[in-house]
A and B are shown apart, each in its own frame.
Chain A
C-alpha cells in the first residue's frame, strides 16, 4: 500500500493495519518488530511513515464528557472536526487548534500542536489531563502529570515514539458564540510587524501573513490578524442561534497541478495581490474561515504538483528573533524561492521534552521540493542554528541529526525515557531513523 503524508513526499510502500479496538492495537504492537502510529496523515513529511503503520482512524469513539468542567475523554482517532461538530453547538470549543481541523487527537498530542493563541494559552498538551498508551511490551499505561509523569511528558510532542496513544482526556473551553471578533492590522515592514505583535499581546489569537518576497524597505510587510471569541452581545441580531454557523460548500483541488504553475512570478503576484487586498478593519467572522481558511479547499496540497512540498517552520528565541528573522527573510527573498504561504507567530512559554514551541517568534514557509529549495533549506538551517532556534518535527522531512539535537535541548532526557519504555526501539518512523539514528 502506497502511503504519503500531506506534503506528498516521500511516498512509501507500507503495510498498514487499522485496528478497531484496543485489543487489536495491542495485538498489532505485540506482533510487530517495528511500527509507528498514524492518524489523518496531516504531518507534512515522514513523521508517521514506516514499513509498518498502525492507523488509529477506527478508534473513533467519544467515551465521556463532563458538562461541568468540559473534560472530554475520547479515543485517539477522533478528529478535531468531529469534536467541533459535536461540541460547538453546545457551547464548547477546542482549547488549542492548529490551522486544520482534519487532525486526530492522537496526532495533536504526538506533535503537541499549537495554535494562534500559543502566547497566552500554550500548546495542546497544556489541556491534556490523562493519556492511555500502549507501550512496546503491549501493556496499557495510564499517565498524567502525577501518574507516570515521565511517560506523559515524553508522549506529548513525542511523535509517537513512546507507544500508541489510544485514549486521551482533555479540557474543552466554554464559548458564548461560534463567532470571532477579528481585527486586521497591516504593517509596512518587519519592524512594524514586531511592534504590532508586541502591542497586541492582549488578544487571545494572533497570527501574521507575511509577504516573504518583498525586499529592502518593505521586507517583512504583513497583515496581522487578531481574534477574540465574540460574546453574545457583540454579534448582530441576525444570527438567530449564536452557536450555529452556516454550512459551507467546499471545493476540491481536482488534480495534481503541473509543477510550473507555482514559480517565482506567480507566487510574487499572489503575495502582492494578497497584501493589497487586506485592509485595516474589524469584523465578525465564524470560526471556520478564521481558524481553518485552507480547509475549504480540500486536498490543496495538490497545487504543489507531484514533486511534493514541505513546510519549513522554525522558532527563534525572543532575544534573537528580530535580527534572525531579518537575515532569514533576506536570504529567502534573495533566493527568489518565494513561499506561497508564510505565517509568522509569537510563542509564549512552553513545557515538554520534544514540544516545538518556545518563547519567541516562529515562521512557517511552504516550498515545493526541488534541488534548489533543498539547498536553500540547508543554508537556512545554519542560520536557525546560529540564532539558537529549532525546526518543527511535524513539518520536517529533511532535517539532519545535528540540527535536531542542537535545537532540542531536552533530547537526552527524552531518549532515556524512550529507552525505558521501548528498549528494543520498536516505535520508530522514517523521521526518527533519520534524526535519531
Chain B
C-alpha cells in the first residue's frame, strides 16, 4: 500500500481529500496539532474504505521537531500534501512582529522545513509527489492581508524552484492556488457566493491535478482569469483603487 501524508490535516479540505485518496487505495497519514480530531478522522477512514490510516501530532511551526517526526512514520509516504496555513491577524501583525513571524512560520517557513526533509527523501527514491496549497492572495498584495499574502507568495516561489530541482528525479511538484473556500478560515467574512468554492470542490481539483501529473492549477478554474486581469493592473493604479 502506498501512503500519503497530509500536513495540516485539521483543514476542512483534508477530509474530502483523504476520501479521494483512500478510495483510490492509498493509506493515509494525517498530521496536525488537533490530534484528537485526527484520531477520529483516521478511524473513520479505516472503517469507511478498509485502508490503513493513522493520526500524528505535528506542529508545522516547530521546525526542530520535523526531522524526528518524519523518521517516526511507520512507512515513508509516496506523496505529501501540505494544507497547513493560517490567515492570522493582519492588524496585529502590522503592530507586533511576533504575529508576523507566526504567520510566516505557519504559511511558509514551517512548510518549507518539512517539505525540505521529504523532498530529499523522495529525490533519493526517485518517485512520489509533493503538493503545496498556496493561495491566489500570493499573486498580489492587498492592504487587508499582505503579510499572509507575502508568505504564500514565498511558498509558491519555493514550490516552483523545487519543481525544477526534482523534475530530473521524477518527483511531481504541484502548486494549487485556490480562491475563496467555504472553510473555518474565512468563517464570518463575507465572500462572493458565486465564486466561493466548497472544500469538496477544491479537494477534487487537487486530486485530479495530482493524478494527472499537473504542475500548477487554480481551484476553481476561473481564478486563472480573475487573477490574470487583477495582476495586469499597474501598481500605480492599484494603489489608488483603495482595495480591501
**Chain A interface (Cβ < 8 Å from any Cβ of B):** 21, 61-65, 82, 86, 90
By secondary structure, the B interface counts as: helix
Closest 7 CB pairs of A and B: A62-B47, A61-B44, A86-B48, A62-B44, A65-B47, A61-B40, A62-B48
A86 to B50, CA, bound (A): 9
Which residues 20-49 of B sit at the A interface, judged by CB distance below 8 A?
37, 40-41, 43-44, 47-49
Since A63-B40, A90-B50 are in contact, a sample of 12 more A-B pairs with Cβ atoms closer than 8 Å, ordered by chain A residue number, is A61-B44, A62-B43, A62-B47, A62-B48, A63-B43, A63-B44, A63-B47, A64-B47, A82-B48, A86-B47, A86-B48, A86-B49
Closest Cβ of chain B to A69, distance in Å, is 15
Closest Cβ of chain B to A260, distance in Å, is 30
A21 to B34, CA, bound (A): 12
B41 surroundings in chain A (CB, below 8 A): 61
Closest Cβ of chain B to A105, distance in Å, is 14
A21 to B43, CA, bound (A): 15
Residue on B nearest A90 in the bound complex, by CB: B50
A398 to B43, CA, bound (A): 43
10 example contacts (A-B, Cβ-Cβ < 8 A) are as follows A21-B37, A61-B43, A61-B44, A62-B43, A62-B44, A62-B48, A63-B40, A63-B43, A86-B47, A86-B48
Closest Cβ of chain A to B97, distance in Å, is 33
Closest Cβ of chain B to A229, distance in Å, is 22
A61 surroundings in chain B (CB, below 8 A): 40-41, 43-44
A64 surroundings in chain B (CB, below 8 A): 47
A62 to B44, CA, bound (A): 5
Query: What is the total number of residues of chain B having a CB less than 8 Å from a CB of chain A?
Result: 9
Closest Cβ of chain A to B145, distance in Å, is 25
B47 surroundings in chain A (CB, below 8 A): 62-65, 86
A62 to B40, CA, bound (A): 8
Q: Which of A61, A63, A86 has the most CB of B within 10 A?
A: A61
Closest Cβ of chain A to B196, distance in Å, is 16
A62 to B48, CA, bound (A): 7
A82 surroundings in chain B (CB, below 8 A): 48
Closest Cβ of chain A to B30, distance in Å, is 13
A63 surroundings in chain B (CB, below 8 A): 40, 43-44, 47
B43 surroundings in chain A (CB, below 8 A): 61-63
A63 to B39, CA, bound (A): 10
A231 to B49, CA, bound (A): 24
Residue on A nearest B45 in the bound complex, by CB: A62
Closest Cβ of chain A to B159, distance in Å, is 30
Closest Cβ of chain B to A269, distance in Å, is 39
A61 to B45, CA, bound (A): 9
Closest Cβ of chain A to B85, distance in Å, is 19
B48 surroundings in chain A (CB, below 8 A): 62, 82, 86
Closest Cβ of chain B to A427, distance in Å, is 26
A65 surroundings in chain B (CB, below 8 A): 47
Closest Cβ of chain A to B131, distance in Å, is 24
A122 to B48, CA, bound (A): 27
Closest Cβ of chain B to A15, distance in Å, is 14
Residue on B nearest A86 in the bound complex, by CB: B48
B37 surroundings in chain A (CB, below 8 A): 21
Closest Cβ of chain B to A232, distance in Å, is 21
A21 to B37, CA, bound (A): 9
Residue on B nearest A62 in the bound complex, by CB: B47
A86 to B48, CA, bound (A): 5
A21 surroundings in chain B (CB, below 8 A): 37
Closest Cβ of chain B to A140, distance in Å, is 16
A86 surroundings in chain B (CB, below 8 A): 47-49
Closest Cβ of chain B to A80, distance in Å, is 14
Closest Cβ of chain A to B96, distance in Å, is 31
Closest Cβ of chain A to B40, distance in Å, is 5
Closest Cβ of chain A to B182, distance in Å, is 12
B50 surroundings in chain A (CB, below 8 A): 90
Closest Cβ of chain A to B134, distance in Å, is 26
A116 to B48, CA, bound (A): 26
A64 to B44, CA, bound (A): 8
Residue on B nearest A82 in the bound complex, by CB: B48
B44 surroundings in chain A (CB, below 8 A): 61-63
Closest Cβ of chain A to B44, distance in Å, is 4
Residue on A nearest B41 in the bound complex, by CB: A61
Residue on B nearest A85 in the bound complex, by CB: B48
Residue on A nearest B44 in the bound complex, by CB: A61
Closest Cβ of chain B to A60, distance in Å, is 8
A62 to B45, CA, bound (A): 8
Residue on B nearest A60 in the bound complex, by CB: B44
B49 surroundings in chain A (CB, below 8 A): 86
Closest Cβ of chain A to B128, distance in Å, is 28
Closest Cβ of chain A to B166, distance in Å, is 35
A90 surroundings in chain B (CB, below 8 A): 50
A21 to B44, CA, bound (A): 14
Residue on B nearest A21 in the bound complex, by CB: B37
B40 surroundings in chain A (CB, below 8 A): 61, 63
Which residues 32-84 of B sit at the A interface, judged by CB distance below 8 A?
37, 40-41, 43-44, 47-50
A21 to B38, CA, bound (A): 12
Closest Cβ of chain B to A322, distance in Å, is 46
Closest Cβ of chain A to B50, distance in Å, is 7
A64 to B48, CA, bound (A): 10
A138 to B195, CA, bound (A): 39
A90 to B41, CA, bound (A): 21
Closest Cβ of chain A to B19, distance in Å, is 10
Residue on A nearest B49 in the bound complex, by CB: A86
Closest Cβ of chain A to B33, distance in Å, is 15
Residue on A nearest B46 in the bound complex, by CB: A62
A61 to B41, CA, bound (A): 7
A90 to B51, CA, bound (A): 13
